[in-house]
Amino acid sequence: MHWRRWLAGGPALVKRMVLSARAELAATGALLVLAISVLSFIEIADDVQEGDTRRIDRAILLMFRTAGDPETPLGGRWVREAVGDITALGGWTVLTLFVVLLVGFLVSLRRWREAALLAAAAIGGTVLGQTLKGIFGRERPEESLRLVEAIHTSFPSGHAMMSAVIYLTFGVLMARFANRTRVKIFGMIMGVVLTLMVGVSRVYLGVHWPSDVLAGWCVGAAWAMFCWLVVWAAERWWRADVEHAPQG
């Protein structure tokens, strides 16, 4: 009987509906993050070009310096070394190694879409970041405030942007693999915390103004969410195509 068949398949149908609703909610959240990040970046870039952030940028950067001595950082030598280790997490070498290893791991599992997502996010984010740096051409803080060597222009922060791209994408992938909600939440929180730590370290080291870092976070988050939404939309299109394909 039809009703018996429906009862037998009811739990599976409900589960599919719940998973579909969760996916739609996640996509809506990603789209919201994308929109807010883009609008925030536009506002920050406009303020930077007009010089409106100059005073607050300097005030925040000097909060990480000894009062009356802008060349001496707070916390002593061990803090400076620890912050240097943290900032390396957003550097080109560490992120490239991390991406190569993780893409190789995903390929070994035949998770082709996830591997492509991470690779595309990393390559596209690098190109986007360098393009924006060339467009704005903002100078870094003066050399007397820098605790480490730094090259290229300042806006937006490449470390802040690429750490957001890679670690947020990694958090999303971790959430996709995990079955338990708390593991999904942990993955996303870990991505956000690493991103924030790298960005703050750039200000502490005096190689970026706070507005550079904030702009980098915005662009990185927007790019990570954009890449995820492209993959999500492609998966939905592929599933719909398979479901409506003629049988036999």
Strand partners, 69: 66
Q: Using one digit for the tens of pLDDT, what is the confidence trace for 66-116?
A: 887 777 888 878 888 899 999 999 998 999 999 999 999 989 988 888 888
Q: Please tell me the predicted confidence (pLDDT) of residue 21.
A: 44
Q: What is the pLDDT of residue 3?
A: 42
The pLDDT score that the predictor gives to residue 178 is 72
In the chain, which residues have pLDDT < 70? Answer: 1-24, 238-248
Joined together, the tokens standing for residue 70 give 């802008």
* Confidence at residue 17, expressed as pLDDT on a 0 to 100 scale: 40
**pLDDT at 24 (0 to 100):** 65
- Predicted TM-score (pTM) of the model is 0.83
Q: How far is CA 72 from CA 46, 60, 200, in A?
A: 32, 15, 17
pLDDT tens digits for 110-129?
888 888 888 999 999 999 99
CA 236 from chain centre, in angstroms, equals 23
CB-based contacts of 230-237 (< 8 A; 24+ apart in sequence): 231/113, 231/116, 231/117, 232/23, 232/26, 232/27, 232/30, 234/113, 235/113
